[in-house]
Amino acid sequence: MPNLDPNPLPYGALQYYQVHYIVQIESEENQNLLAKCEPITKGHFSNKRVVDVKWTGADKFAEVLQEDGKLTEMLKEVMLQVGEIKIDPQDDHIRIYAKWGHEENFHFNETMLEIADRIAMHIKNKLKPTAKS
Amino acid sequence: MWLSFVPVSVEHKDSHAHDSSHSHEEEHGHGDIEPVVVKMLSPNQELAAEMKKSGVDCEALAPGSHPLEHKPYYSHVFAMTPRLVTNKGLIEIRGRNIDFVQVLQRS
């Protein structure tokens, strides 16, 4: 039987995890890919469902993602679980991630991988002509 | 709690598997003890194992082995981006548009 501390420290590592899907691509236009996806929902509690998603962001990239019907359908499946999806570009790579999740819910999500892969496809299509090899 | 201590495989060595003589057990003196081997996996190794089960070609990298792990994890352009996070390892993905998957723990 492990000895559990009745007064745990209020700081240190928390039981929340986040998975970042990383696209390694270096371009001068990386910063134009900043975007965020939020769900549009109807109903409350157990009747809550995602009816659409809304992409907001810089440049025209958010419009490209909004127009992808297959991506929208996949997003509708997972947005209630993951909350929101952010595309966070840096100088030599771009990160795609959702909200923090408790370790009890921390499992591999195949749909989320497919979503990140499809977003990465759009990123590469947009940046390929200008990307540094 | 599964991320901290993940029992992946438990091996029981049965001392009665062979119908050995009584004298053999006496020689070793541990005839009734069943050793239990527990393998501990880091979060990225556990996630990589789940991905492989789903058919994703991937490999968990050793902690601190890639330059991405030594760079900032956020651009801090978005509001409420955390400052204190712990890197829990990278997974290299092959044959997809995604190059890496990184697991972070909030601090």
Q: For residue range B1-13, list pLDDT tens digits in order.
A: 444 444 444 444 4
Identify the pLDDT of residue B28: 53
Could you tell me the CA-to-CA distances from B9 to B6, B37, B49, B91, B105 in Å, in that order?
9, 7, 13, 21, 25
Q: Which residue has the tokens 């997809």?
A: B96
Nearest residue of A to residue B52, measured between CA atoms: A108
**Neighboring chain A residues of B106 at a CB cutoff of 8 Å:** 13-14, 16-18, 100
Strands (E), chain A: 16-23, 35-42, 49-57, 85-89, 94-97, 101-102
The ipTM value here is 0.87
Average pLDDT, chain A: 90
- Closest residue to B99, CB basis, from A23, A34, A110: A23
Per-state percent for chain A, helix, strand, coil, to nearest 5: 35, 30, 35
Name the band, by pLDDT with cuts 50, 70 and 90, for residue A10: confident
Q: For residue range A44-90, list pLDDT tens digits in order.
A: 999 999 999 999 997 789 999 999 999 999 999 999 999 999 999 99
For chains A and B, count residue pairs whose Cβ atoms are closer than 8 Å.
Answer: 92
Average pLDDT, chain B: 79
Identify the pLDDT of residue B32: 79
What's the whole-number mean pLDDT along residues A24-29?
A: 91
Tokens for A103? 């370790």
What are the backbone dihedrals phi and psi of residue B34, each rounded to the nearest 5 degrees, phi first? -105, 105
Q: For residue range B18-47, list pLDDT tens digits in order.
A: 444 444 445 555 567 888 988 888 999 999
Q: Do B3 and A110 touch (CB under 8 A)?
A: no
Sign of the CA dihedral with B54 first, then B56, B57, and B62 last: negative
Name the band, by pLDDT with cuts 50, 70 and 90, for residue B15: very low
What's the whole-number mean pLDDT along residues A99-116?
A: 93
Identify the pLDDT of residue A129: 65
Q: Is the pLDDT of residue B98 over 70?
A: yes
Q: Which residue has the higher pLDDT, A59 or B82?
A: B82
The reported pTM is 0.81
Q: Which of A123, A93, A90, A109 is nearest to A17 (CA)?
A: A109
- Closest residue to B106, CB basis, from A14, A34, A123: A14
Q: What percent of chain A has pLDDT over 90?
A: 74
Q: Do A108 and B75 touch (CB under 8 A)?
A: no
Q: Do B102 and A20 touch (CB under 8 A)?
A: yes
What's the whole-number mean pLDDT along residues B66-88?
A: 92
